[in-house]
Amino acid sequence: MRTLAIFLIRLYQWTVSPLLGPNCRFHPSCSQYALE
């Protein structure tokens, strides 16, 4: 289950996130924080 969650977050980071641009005001980003 954990591996699936990590895969989905990485997939989002590689596909959707670059299309949206640097909109996140947080550092680290929400998706990066979820991985940690």
In tens digits, the chain (36 residues) has pLDDT values of 888 988 988 898 888 887 777 777 777 777 788 877
Using only C-alpha atoms, the chain has a radius of gyration, in whole angstroms, of: 10
The pLDDT assigned to 35 comes to 78
pTM above 0.75? no
First CA to last CA distance, the chain? 16
Alpha carbons within 13 angstroms on the beta-carbon side of residue 12 total: 12
The pLDDT assigned to 18 comes to 74
Q: How many CB atoms lie within 10 A of CB 9?
A: 16
The pLDDT assigned to 4 comes to 92
